[in-house]
Amino acid sequence: MDALELIRALPKAEQHIHIVGSTRPETLLWLVEEGDLDTPFKTPEDVERFFRYIDFNHFISVYNTMVHCITEEAQFERIVFEMLEDEAHCNVRYVEASFSAPDHVLIGLDYGLMLDAINKGIHRAKDEFCIDCQIRIDLVRNYGPERGMEILDWIEAKSENIVSIDIGGSETSFPPEPYEAVYERAGEMGLHLVAHGGETAGPVSVWGAVEKLKVERIGHGVAARRDPRLMDFLAEKGITVEACPVSNVRTGAVSSVREHPIREFIDRGIRVTVNSDDPSMFGTDMNNEYIQLHEQLGFTVPELFQMSLNAVESSFLPDREKGRMREDFMRMYWHLNDRAETFN
């Protein structure tokens, strides 16, 4: 077994994956047909061209087009099941998937019915692939804190399998600080706290998330490299960075995987996990993310496995389940180690 085979076989956990951004190209075309929609793509080749981005704002416009392709709540069951099937093929054992609920409610879909469909997909995937998944609700920062409070009302009314909240969206135009009261309430509700930060805005965006929102994890966090004091703060407070290397290249946050700050973060003592973000839209998956880090930044197999363990340790699983998963990962890892010819 060579290094690439070993990387593919490593047990993995993912913390940062968006449900809509995981929609397979063929499923996107099915959604278009189901909804009898007029879209700029009619073939898989058209979809591939559609998924080429000029910058982050262009990516957001493409994402919004995909949101409008989902016209029935029940369609989420197929999307989520296929997302988890793809994850299982990368030996991902646990997922925390992001659902941007307000995007869909504001165009007429029902929150409760969507959540039911998502959980049906999760339960089917667990039965077929032995993969576990919990849900993170993205409040979508563009809609403002008042809408955020309304979304917390939805969660209070129906919260099956929801473990955390997040704010994605246009980071440069909508800073985190106005969400302070929303996050305080979410914490009181028992929800874990995450925020996108430092993807398209500077270190100040990350500071706002960690100081005002009291987040446990930062999505992306790329800009933290520009502030040594911030990196030290993340390390000291044990705040995990959910790194998404290929995504950051595709949206222009970094120029290449070799220029990604993930190695700097780890050397600084920050706990980092590896994630695929919007895998279908970025032409990636968890195996590819690990392999890119191995080939472009020289990460060894033990280092990559440590990031798998980081994802377990900083997951929002109950402690007992976390401990069992850690033991399972270690058992699988040492079994692979016994079979491996090298750990290049």
- Per-state percent for the chain, helix, strand, coil, to nearest 5: 60, 15, 30
Q: CA-to-CA distance for 210 and 223, rounded, in angstroms? A: 14
Q: Are 253 and 56 in contact (CB under 8 A)?
A: yes
Pairing of strands 217-220, 12-18: unpaired
Q: Of the residues 73, 87, 96, 199, which is catalytic?
A: 199
Q: Which residues contact 126 (CB under 8 A, 6 or more apart)?
A: 132, 133
Could you write out the DSSP letters of every residue in 95-116?
Answer: EEEEE-HHHHHTTT--HHHHHH
Q: CA-to-CA distance for 112 and 333, rounded, in angstroms? A: 39
Q: CA-to-CA distance for 276 and 22, rounded, in angstroms? A: 9
Tokens 């995990």 correspond to what residue?
240
Does 199 participate in catalysis according to the annotation?
A: yes
Q: Which residues contact 250 (CB under 8 A, 6 or more apart)?
A: 53, 59, 281, 282, 283
What does the DSSP 8-state code read for residue 131? -
List the structure tokens of 341.
């010819």
CA 255, 248, 96 angle in degrees (round to 5)?
Answer: 165
Q: CA-to-CA distance for 110 and 107, rounded, in angstroms? A: 9
List the structure tokens of 20.
């809509």
List the structure tokens of 265.
């973060």
The CA distances from residue 181 to 109, 140, 153, 185, 216, in Å, are 27, 15, 14, 6, 16
Active site positions, annotated: 199
